[in-house]
Structure 1
């Protein structure tokens, strides 16, 4: 596994008029240092998400991750479904992404998301691992309180 040290930032739907609320914080969860995304997702005013995300390089330049097979995350959640979204140089609009979802468990679990399982959203392209720029973890699409902790974020190889 290639371990990353993400510089997480908090993003919410107010960029498009939404009224969701939340924050990210460094906390100890289940005995581990983690970054925690916590908040309330609201569908009002065309909203519907809270997100923690990071650029792989400052300035958003491309990173070639084609030597790896996917993303590996240690997650501790609330039982809800969360999205992982990747952005590459292929994408020109903020609503475009490559995505997969997973169900969080109320204990530490290793989540592996193969690049081959990513679904393109609002773009007619297949995920290109040679030009990855940004990764996000989101609570999206339905009203709820959300809380997910992430630790040990990186890329894995099946070999």
Structure 2
């Protein structure tokens, strides 16, 4: 009986130590995954996306614009310019890329970081996931683009759903497309983007 009692005590201690070690490993592993970043686009041959530019004319609007690649002091950037009009139920211009292959990873990302320069106007990031199948379904977050280059971090948990019946949030592995959008009101868009990455 005495030996059995000792065995139970030793077994309990060993199980406890193993459990503590296992959960410590999981915590460290999760933290290491969260600290990584993944460049989506920095305009290099190794890290650039096939961006598609389009406007509300696909749905009858009259907004107009274009997407170009600019260069300054040896650094390239995307430049989106145009006139956003809410006439005819329109009101946007944007460029968007399919990130399905990039987001298909076990790594955990908490948000998107962008390097931008603009005309002191507000713009939006629109994210679509594997659960936003209709054109008007997306998650969005507004950002301000000053006249000097600045880096902005946009946490995924701050993005707002466009419809109440969408899931409230999403994981980075759910992301299918990311769009940079001039949206929602009548104004002149002039936005430069030099870096997009997940953090």
CA RMSD of aligned residues (A): 1.9
Higher RCO, 1 vs 2 (CA within 8 Å, ≥6 residues apart): 1
Report matched runs for 1:28-39 at 5 Å.
Answer: 28-29=71-72, 32-39=75-82
Q: Give 5+ residue unaligned stretches, structure 1.
A: none
CA distance in 2, matches of 1:30, 1:96: 39
Counting strand residues as a fraction of each chain, which structure ranks higher? 1
Q: Which moved more, 1:7-16 or 1:63-72?
A: 63-72
Contact 1:82–1:140 at 8 Å: present in 2 too?
yes
- Pick aligned residue for 1:86 from 103, 127, 130: 127
CA distance in 1, matches of 2:38, 2:70: 23
Number of residue pairs aligned between Structure 1 and Structure 2? 154
Report matched runs for 1:71-150 at 5 Å.
Answer: 71-122=112-163, 123-129=165-171, 130-150=173-193
> Runs of 4 or more off by more than 2 Å in structure 1?
29-32, 61-66
- Pick aligned residue for 1:63 from 104, 108, 114: 104
TM (norm. structure 2) is 0.72
Contact 1:87–1:98 at 8 Å: present in 2 too?
yes
Counting helix residues as a fraction of each chain, which structure ranks higher? 2
Shift of 1:65: 7.2
CA distance in 2, matches of 1:86, 1:94: 12
Larger radius of gyration: 2
Evaluate the alpha carbon distance shift between residue 104 and residue 65 of structure 1 in structure 2; reply closer, same or farther with a 3 A threshold.
farther
